[in-house]
């Protein structure tokens, strides 16, 4: 449905285009914008909303701890459009609590990476053409 492509194009592609590195654009933006990679469906999802915070980014509880070579994500994101069909997630997380809202950053996460769990599809009344899920780290 149009909501799936709206999330893919306006939230994910725009974020990568405006703020991604050239390497990230080549690896993620091109196939997400085309909707396919290696002949398979390739979409993105934007992970902001949380159970206790809704879409208020400043109240979120998801954290990302810098471990040197990677970030360790810990948290839950709810009501995620393209949650299961997406291959790539843009995840909003608190990386430095001492900075308040300025310590919130966006991380690129691939769905198949270890520690990523996609919960069952939400049973919604409307907009049933889009898959909506909870994603946990």
> What CATH number does the domain containing 65 carry?
2.40.110.10
pLDDT at 42 over 80: yes
Pairing assessment for the beta strands 132-136 and 117-118 based on DSSP bridges: antiparallel
Number of structural domains found in the chain: 1
Pairing assessment for the beta strands 76-81 and 132-136 based on DSSP bridges: antiparallel
Domain housing 35 = 2-136
* pTM of the full structure: 0.91
What residues contact residue 60 under an 8 Å CB cut-off, 6+ apart? 48, 50, 53, 75, 92, 93, 94, 104
> pLDDT tens digits, residue range 71-119?
999 999 999 999 999 999 999 999 999 999 999 999 999 999 999 999 9
The pair of three-digit structure tokens given for residue 58, joined into one six-digit string: 């400043």
At residue 44, the pLDDT reads 96
Q: In 10 A of CB 96, how many CB atoms? A: 14
């Amino acid at each position: 449905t149009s909501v799936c492509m709206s999330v893919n194009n306006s939230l994910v592609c725009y974020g990568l285009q405006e703020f991604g590195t050239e390497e990230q654009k080549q690896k993620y933006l091109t196939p997400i914008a085309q909707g396919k990679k290696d002949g398979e469906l390739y979409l993105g999802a934007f992970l902001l909303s949380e159970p206790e915070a809704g879409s208020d980014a400043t109240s979120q509880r998801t954290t990302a701890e810098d471990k040197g070579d990677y970030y360790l994500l810990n948290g839950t994101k709810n009501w995620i459009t393209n949650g299961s069909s997406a291959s790539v997630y843009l995840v909003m997380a608190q990386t430095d609590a001492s900075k308040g809202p300025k310590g919130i950053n966006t991380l690129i996460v691939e769905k198949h990476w270890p520690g990523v769990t996609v919960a069952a599809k939400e049973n919604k009344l409307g907009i049933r053409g889009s898959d909506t899920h909870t994603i946990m780290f």
